[in-house]
Structure 1
Amino acid sequence: MYEGINNLVKSWHDELDIHHAENATVSGDCCRWDGVKCNEETGHVIGLDLSSSCLYGTFPCNSTLFSLNHLRELDLSKNNFNYSKIPSDIGRLPSSQISTSPSSFLSGQIPSEISKLSSLSFHYLSINEDPTGVNEKLNLKLNDLSLERLVNNLSRLTHLYLDMVDISSEVPLSLSNRTSLKAISLGFCDLLGEFPTSLLLPKLKEISLIYNPELGGYLHEFHSNSPLCILDLCGTKFCGELPSSIGNLTDLIVLGLAHNYFSELPQSIMNLTHLNRLYLSNMVDVGNAGILKSWLSKLNLLTDLMLSKMNLGIEIMPTLSNFTRLHFLSLQNNLLTEPLPSWLMNLTQLGALDLLGNQFQGPIPPWISYLINLHTLTLSFNGTVDKFDPFFMLPKLRYLKLTGVSLTFPQNICTNSSLLKLHILSLESCNLTEFPKFLRCQDELRELYLPGTSLGISHNGFSFAGNLALCGAPLFEKCKKDIVPPSPPQQLTNDEMTEEDIELIDWIIISLGCVSGFIIGYVLGKIYVADRHHDWFMETFGRRRRSETRMRRSTQRHRRN
């Protein structure tokens, strides 16, 4: 296929030798071809957009693509280069804008030659991780070149997107010398050390550093005329006080502070009224509830809202009743009780609803079937007894986690479950007495979790800890009324349910919320919802979470010794 690219590029040279752009025919004028942009006066090819062109295979090192001496813009995103390396000949291009992502599937070290593109202004090499999640060697890396060397040579850089590129170093202070920078996006890069506060440059419109758990820092004062639109620090370890000058960021549309070490919201934060994505967590100061209640009433444009571990009571709920644009809502691990409020049925755009870790009273409301766009749902109840039936009416639901509810299931095995096509099901402390028969018809079910707190049994990759009375296939214990035990779903990878596995399921929700505020999260969310690379999503986040846990346990053992 890439021989075709070479022939195509060669034909542009041939055509331009014969035809000038002014008198070329439609069939002979490559400047009229889709994705090709030419200089109107000279006819030289100055822009090439091959995004979403169904290109597949190894990128040739000697591609004639690099002979386009006047090329200013190159977009190879949304193709599959089968984990080939970025050719070093890329340094021959005069391009001012290069984009190879998302989902270009390149791998290996980013060549040092790319730093020779001194006129480069838009650098986009993000989201290239191995979708199987099992071979880190397939990821793009910047270790040899180093972020500092790259930035030092790119004097005209305005946009830097390196999400999911393995950097594994500190953010260089020299980056603050690039005063022309408008966007910095370095999510999932394994950044280390402390983020330089001087990098909050006067022209910066976007800064996204999500899920760099070893990256710390502080927020300093913000200028009153700051054009910042996106500030997303979810999953880092920033700490200290939020400066009152954060209220100066009136153009902000995305604010992500979840899973950091901030504690108190300043009153001035209520000036931020144009937000459409807000992610907060772990702020347990009692004064935050009052500020949130007043502030949220002004945020009429919200599509994503995370308020997990915020020590919020049921009084916050009416404030959310008018957020009909919400696609994502997480109120995980708060102090919410009473029945689920009926106004939730009006949030028909919801794709993900996360109410885990609360103490809602039953029953499971029948109106939950109105939320037909839900793909992800987690609910915690306090001793509720109810039927599973309302969930059968959610055709897009793929991930369901319920805790603290004693469930009964229909005996009509497949009829009621024809709409529901679950991929992940977790029923924790649900007092199951037999294996749910409807799962026999869930032919897309990939993972099943039935954890508890007491000893249980494991069989064929399924975990049933805590459900001591559980019977029916795939268990050895047959139910008395069953003549033929139902068949198990097809796959589940772990033989035992561990604390890390439970955390991983919850982290899916958290990650979807945190990262959906900008391009990397948007793509991850779409990948998960569409289930094209669900295994990659699970394995990628699971690998990192488990790595952190192992490191933490190793440190604890070392201290004891």
Structure 2
Amino acid sequence: MRGHVIGLDLSGNCLEANLTTNSSLFHLKKLQSLNLAYNDFSYPNLSFGFDRWKSLTYLNLSYSVSGFNHWKSLNYVDLSAYMNSPHLFDEIVLLPKLVSLDLSDNYGLLLDNIKFQILVHNLTELRFLVLDYLNMSLVVPSSLLNLTSSLKHLSLRSCNLQGNFPSQVFQLSSLQLLDLSNNSYLGDNLSESNLSSTLEYLNLDGCQFYGSIPDVFEKMHKLTHLSLFNNSFDGEIPTSIFNLANLTYLRLSSNKLRGPLPRNISGLSFLLEFRMDNNFIVGPVPSWLFSLPSLFYLDLKNNKLTGPIDHVEIPNLILQETYLSNNEISGFGNLKTVDLRFNVLQGSLPIPSTTWDSMQQLFISGNKLTGEIPSSYCNLTSLGVLDLANNSLGGKIPECLGNLSNLVFLDLRMNKFHGRIPNSFVNMNTLRTLNLNGNQLEGILPRSLVNCSKLEILDVGNNNLNDTFPDWLGVLQSLKVLILRSNGFHGAINNSMPAFYFHQLRIIDVAQNDFMDLLPSNYFKILNGMRNVTSVDKLEYIGVEQCTSDKQDIGNQCYPNNEQKGKPIRCTPRLCPPEEGPQFYYEDYVEVVVKGFKRKLVRILEIFTTIDFSSNQFHGPIPEELGELNLLRGLNLSHNSLTRQIPSSLGKLAELESLDLSSNKLEGGIPEQLTNLTFLSVLHLSHNKLVGHIPEGKQFSTFSNDSYIGNSGLCGFPLTKNCHEEEEPGAPPKFDEEDESATLFEWKFALAGYGCGLVLGLSLGYIAFTTGKPWWVVKKVEKYQQKLIGRCNQRHKKRKTQKPNQHC
């Protein structure tokens, strides 16, 4: 079969070998494709035999060594790391059918002008040529004119090329990718060039081009990536660049470009990143920059932009990073949405002006803002989203924020707010998410929250609140997430709530508080959001409107990655067409403990359900009712004082992935029914009083000792303690009706002899040992032993001894 192998891929195997002409590899005479990249082949003295592989069309030797010159019919070769070969280029030029050649990332590998000319002269079938990071300092740039006109992919990044670059290369009729970045070209030849209309990727970063950028982009309809970073281009930016319909990445940073940005454009609808920093751009910031539907990164810092950012309407803005520093921008105009998340903004929050009257969405999270929230923010009556999370804001939360009847999302987490939570939430408000996690808030939960009939997510974790369990929140029929973690909540949880309370709850986290008494069994009965819900056909998120069949989905469109080298694809949010009223898009964020680790949930799946009652003062049994929550995925009752046995009903939690009952006072054995939990990946039963054999099979075969430590009575895999091994000397006596070990019987007989007659005990022990441990002997001995002990006790009672059993 060796003669019929046409493709072989051994890349990334760290192979080390001396490949010689008698290697079995060279017997694959019909080989067409060979990939030996990312290996470490040494370079021996080879006997050349190029005519053996006349069918070979693909060869990849990147990040290896040279010496592979046996494939005369090659049309692809990648020799990225073959820096040790003195004959490398002599061998390659003997492959006239080569279509693709990659010698990149060989720092120090020298390609002189003569060898380069021979290479491009002989390899007339080349379509892909990549020579990144080779030393081509001796190559005259004019030699590039010999490249075949059918070349599609040319990459000469960081090759130390010098001199005037021939403009004719830009005009190769088939060229799709051209990367000449980080070389030492000189001249303004680019201004005299006509760029090929077939280009899709053009990177001229870090060269020394100067002069104006030619206005030749109107025919380049296929261009998706344009980067001219760190050159000396001057003059105005050609307007044709801004009309490129398929452009996803545009970088003109660190040049000497002047003039204003155009006021109107017809393209850039797919643009993801726009970088124009460190130039001399003047004039106002055009409103279209904030209206590009796919833009998520904008950098205009260090220019001379002026005036307010005005007249922007962006209901579905996905812009995540915006850099406008070191300009002369005076403020914002009639904006409806401002998204400045994850920048380096410092100082106080901007004071709203009359131009903010129509503001609907304000995102300034992830900055370094300080000070208080100005009370004038309460005048923004159209505001639907206020996201100030992850700053250093302090003071008290303005009471009047609760009067904003149109507010849908209020996110103030991870700041330094103190005092009480406002108790001014008005009737008929639209609040859906209230996140105050990670502040220094005090007092009780405001009872006016019952007016928030649409509230789905309430997160007040990690504060200093001091209150009882807010069972009154159960009337909120939309509530799905309740996080009270790490506060001073205390007392018992009401066990007699109405059946319709907390009907939709998916996540409840009351860990690290001071709750006490029994776990509320009736409360677990009413959590219908964790039971009896049919499985969904698609992933749905809390708070994100899902398009039904009678609505046209206008989102969920993915665009090509901007670097085309492994960056993640970005998609627009999945939204439905606007209906009545303003439309908002906001990704909810909560932090919960999942499988023992803190997890940040950005957008919360409807099917994610968890109960965390850990680190409180609950006592008594675990309610059987928990076993009815058949959609529960995480259950954490650790670090309490729970007693009695683990209920076997937990074995019905078919979706359970994590179970933590550690650090309690649970007794008895581990129910065999828990082996039915086929999705269980995390189990913590450590530091209890569990005894007996650890269940075997299914998921239980995957758990380690850590799941069971601190339970001296447990035995079996994965513990080293065998359930049938002899007791160690001095160990406390144990009796198991199913244990037939001779040692156990001998010990019981010795006890009988010690208390009530040594001769009788030794005799019976001998009989039991020699006759196979008969059960009738055991029963008779125990019955007789009890009679003797009873008589002994009666005697000592008559003598008025305080501890009669001590002598019996």
What is the aligned partner in structure 2 of residue 42 from structure 1? none
Opposite residue 349 of structure 2, the aligned amino acid is: L
Shift of 1:244: 0.5
Deviation track 1:446-498 (CA, whole Å, cap 9, x = no partner) reads 4456799xxxxxx988583995227467642558599xxxxxxxxxxxxxxxx
CA contact (8 A) 2:614 2:637 kept: yes
Deviation track 1:109-141 (CA, whole Å, cap 9, x = no partner) reads x44389999626986778xxxxxxxxxxxxxx8
- Report the secondary structure of 2:395's partner residue: coil
What is the aligned partner in structure 2 of residue 372 from structure 1? 528
Identity over aligned pairs, percent? 21
Identify which of 440, 446, 452 aligns with 1:299.
452
CA contact (8 A) 1:305 1:329 kept: yes
- Structure 1's 213 and 117: CA in aligned 2 closer, same or farther, altered over 3 A? closer
CA distance in 2, matches of 1:265, 1:88: 46
Identify which of 158, 168, 172 aligns with 2:290.
158
Opposite residue 405 of structure 2, the aligned amino acid is: T
Shift of 1:230: 2.9
What is the aligned partner in structure 2 of residue 358 from structure 1? 513
- Report the secondary structure of 2:519's partner residue: coil
Q: Is residue 2:512 matched to residue 1:382?
A: no
Q: Which has the larger radius of gyration?
A: 2
CA distance in 1, matches of 2:247, 2:271: 6
- Report the secondary structure of 1:373's partner residue: helix
CA contact (8 A) 1:222 1:245 kept: yes
- Report the secondary structure of 1:464's partner residue: helix
Opposite residue 399 of structure 1, the aligned amino acid is: G
Opposite residue 256 of structure 1, the aligned amino acid is: D
Q: Is residue 2:233 matched to residue 1:119?
A: no
Q: Is residue 2:547 matched to residue 1:312?
A: no
What is the aligned partner in structure 2 of residue 78 from structure 1? none
- Report the secondary structure of 1:360's partner residue: strand
Opposite residue 288 of structure 1, the aligned amino acid is: I
Q: Is residue 2:555 matched to residue 1:399?
A: no
Q: Is residue 2:662 matched to residue 1:423?
A: no
- Structure 1's 287 and 219: CA in aligned 2 closer, same or farther, altered over 3 A? same
- Structure 1's 145 and 238: CA in aligned 2 closer, same or farther, altered over 3 A? same
- Structure 1's 479 and 441: CA in aligned 2 closer, same or farther, altered over 3 A? farther
CA distance in 2, matches of 1:398, 1:149: 56
Shift of 1:326: 1.9
Q: Is residue 2:371 matched to residue 1:231?
A: no
What is the aligned partner in structure 2 of residue 138 from structure 1? none
CA distance in 1, matches of 2:344, 2:707: 34
Deviation track 1:153-201 (CA, whole Å, cap 9, x = no partner) reads 8652233677986x899899959854233445455x6x89999997973
- Structure 1's 320 and 280: CA in aligned 2 closer, same or farther, altered over 3 A? farther
CA contact (8 A) 2:646 2:670 kept: no
CA distance in 1, matches of 2:469, 2:327: 36
Structural RMSD (CA): 5.6
Higher helix share: 1
The 5-angstrom pairing of residues 412-561 of structure 1 reads 412=648, 416-427=650-661, 429-431=663-665, 439-448=674-683, 464=706, 468-469=710-711, 471=714, 475-478=718-721, 480=723
CA distance in 1, matches of 2:479, 2:622: 27
CA distance in 1, matches of 2:295, 2:666: 43
Identify which of 254, 260, 264 aligns with 2:385.
254
Shift of 1:272: 1.5
What is the aligned partner in structure 1 of residue 372 from structure 2? 241
CA distance in 2, matches of 1:480, 1:296: 56
CA contact (8 A) 1:449 1:463 kept: no
Q: Which runs of 5+ in 1 are unaligned?
A: 1-59, 73-84, 101-109, 127-140, 453-458, 483-561
CA distance in 2, matches of 1:175, 1:466: 66
Shift of 1:221: 1.9
- Structure 1's 253 and 473: CA in aligned 2 closer, same or farther, altered over 3 A? farther
Q: Is residue 2:419 matched to residue 1:286?
A: yes
Opposite residue 454 of structure 2, the aligned amino acid is: L
CA distance in 2, matches of 1:280, 1:353: 20
Opposite residue 112 of structure 1, the aligned amino acid is: R
Shift of 1:241: 0.6
Opposite residue 396 of structure 1, the aligned amino acid is: L
Higher relative contact order (CA 8 A, sep 6+): 1
CA distance in 2, matches of 1:173, 1:427: 62
CA contact (8 A) 2:683 2:707 kept: no
CA distance in 1, matches of 2:646, 2:510: 25
CA distance in 2, matches of 1:197, 1:349: 50
Shift of 1:269: 1.5
Opposite residue 220 of structure 1, the aligned amino acid is: P
Deviation track 1:291-336 (CA, whole Å, cap 9, x = no partner) reads 6626535433322222223422226836634322123222222221
TM-score under structure 1 normalisation? 0.51
- Structure 1's 270 and 397: CA in aligned 2 closer, same or farther, altered over 3 A? same
CA distance in 1, matches of 2:295, 2:718: 44
What is the aligned partner in structure 2 of residue 552 from structure 1? none
What is the aligned partner in structure 2 of residue 537 from structure 1? none
CA distance in 2, matches of 1:214, 1:463: 47
Shift of 1:271: 1.9
Per mean C-alpha deviation after superposition, the further-off stretch among 293-302 and 148-157 is 148-157
Shift of 1:247: 0.7
CA contact (8 A) 1:381 1:403 kept: yes
Opposite residue 422 of structure 1, the aligned amino acid is: L
Identify which of 341, 349, 355 aligns with 2:504.
349
- Structure 1's 112 and 339: CA in aligned 2 closer, same or farther, altered over 3 A? same
What is the aligned partner in structure 2 of residue 131 from structure 1? none
CA contact (8 A) 1:232 1:256 kept: yes
Shift of 1:266: 1.6
CA distance in 2, matches of 1:294, 1:122: 49
- Structure 1's 410 and 185: CA in aligned 2 closer, same or farther, altered over 3 A? same
CA contact (8 A) 1:376 1:400 kept: no
CA distance in 1, matches of 2:302, 2:684: 40
What is the aligned partner in structure 2 of residue 272 from structure 1? 404
CA contact (8 A) 1:432 1:467 kept: no
Shift of 1:219: 1.4
- Structure 1's 160 and 354: CA in aligned 2 closer, same or farther, altered over 3 A? farther
Length, aligned pairs only = 375
- Report the secondary structure of 1:314's partner residue: coil
Opposite residue 520 of structure 2, the aligned amino acid is: P
- Structure 1's 475 and 356: CA in aligned 2 closer, same or farther, altered over 3 A? same
